[in-house]
Structure 1
Amino acid sequence: MSFFNDDFERDGSRISDYYKNEAQFLIDKICEKQDRKKLHPDLLKIYNPDKEYFIYQMIYEEYLDCFYPYYHDLKDEVANAKHQKESEAKFMKHYKDTYRHIDMKRYSLDEISLFGSIDKSRAVEPKGLKKRLAVIDAYLAHQLVTVRDLMPNTLVNQWAVNNDFIEKSTQVVDDMIRQESKKLEELDVFRLSQREKMRRYYETYNFEVNEEILDAIERNCPELFTRYDE
C-alpha cells in the first residue's frame, strides 16, 4: 500500500526515492502492528489493495479483443503502457462526456500497475489488466444503476415537486386575480358614487349660478322684467 505517488513534493522540491522508500517502510511497519479487527470496513479495503475482482468473462474477452493489438511488443513496456493509457483514456472519455457529475477519483486507473508478470496462458496479457477492467466495469455498473434506478426516482420526485410548485403558483395567481377583481369592483362602486355625488353638485351649482344671473339681470335691467310682466 503506497502512500506516495511519483509527483509527491514538499516546499516545491521533489522528494528523493530514498526518503520516500524509508517513509513507506516505516508506514508499512506500523500498519502491520495495527489491529485490523477494529478498523472500519472501508479502511480495511485500503490494507488489501491486491484483492481479486470478479469480472464477467465475456466482458473481459471483449476488452482484450478491443485492445489486443497494443500488447504485441512485450519488450517495449513503455510504448505498450502509453498505448494502453491512450486507449483507456478514449474509452473513459466517451462515458465521461455522456454521463457527467461523477467523482472520477473513484474510477482512477493511474494507481493500477499495468505491467508486472505475464500470464503464460495468454501470450500478451498484462497483470493489471483485470484490475483496470474491474474499475471500468464498476464505472459502467454505476452508470447502469444511475439510469435504471436513480433517474426514474429523480424524475418522479421532480415531477412531484413540479406539480406541487405549479399547484402553489396557481393558487397564488388565483388569489391575486380575486384580489384584483375585488379592487375593480370597489373601484366601480366608488366611481358610481362619485358620479352621483358630482351630478347632484352640478345640478345645485347650475341652479345657483342661474339664479345669480337672473338676479343680476333684474338689478341691472329691471325694464326687461317690467315689459315681460306687462
Structure 2
Amino acid sequence: MSPLNALNWRYAVKQFANTTLHPQQLEPLLEAIRLSPGAFGLQPYRLLLISNPELRSNLLLHSMGQNKVTKASHLLVFAAVQQIDEAFVADHIECMTQQRGGTAEEYQGLEAHLNGYFRNMSDQEKVRWADQQVFLALGNCLTSAALLGIDSCPMTGFNPEGYDQVLGLAEQGLRSVATCALGERHAEDAAADLPKVRLPAQVLTRVLV
C-alpha cells in the first residue's frame, strides 16, 4: 500500500481475529522498528514480543481490562532503559565502531558531547527523554505495520508497575512505557468501518511564508 492508503486503512483495532502472525510477517516489522529515528541514533529502549498465553493472561490483570492483550496474535511491549549514564553512552560508541568502523578514539568528541548532554539532565528529564524516544519508535511501528498490512492497537492504558513485575523488567534495568497489540482485525469489529475523525488540514497545518 502507498503511505496514504495504509494510513487510511489502519485504525486502533478493538477486536482481533483468532489468527496468528507468521514470523515472516513480523520480521520486517521488527526490523522497521529497529531502524526508527531517534536522538543521536540512541535507542534507550528494548522490545518484548510476547505470544505466550499464560504470560499475557498475567499482563491482562494490569491492562485495565483491555482483552486485546490476550486476543491479539502478539503483544509488543516497549520498555525504556533505566540507566542513562556513561556506560549507556559507551555501549553506543562501541556499537558505532563495530558498524561504521574506526576506533573508539575517533569518537571521543561525540562521546564527551553525549556524556555532557546527559550530565546536565535531572533523572526526571532523562525519563522524559527516554519516553520520547519510545514514542518515536511506537509511531514508526504503527505506520510500518500498516504498510505491511498488519493490524495494530497502541496502548498506554496499563499499570507499568504491574507489567514490570510480571516481566521482571526491573532486574533487566528496564521499565514498561507503551504496548502495541498486533494481529488481524476481526471481521465483526465495527470500528473498522467508522470514518476517521481528524482535524481538517487547513486547521491542523498552518503554513508560514
TM-score under structure 2 length normalisation: 0.19
Greater relative contact order structure (CA < 8 Å, 6+ sep): 2
- Between structures 1 and 2, the one with greater strand share: 2
TM-score under structure 1 length normalisation: 0.17
Which one has the largest radius of gyration? 1
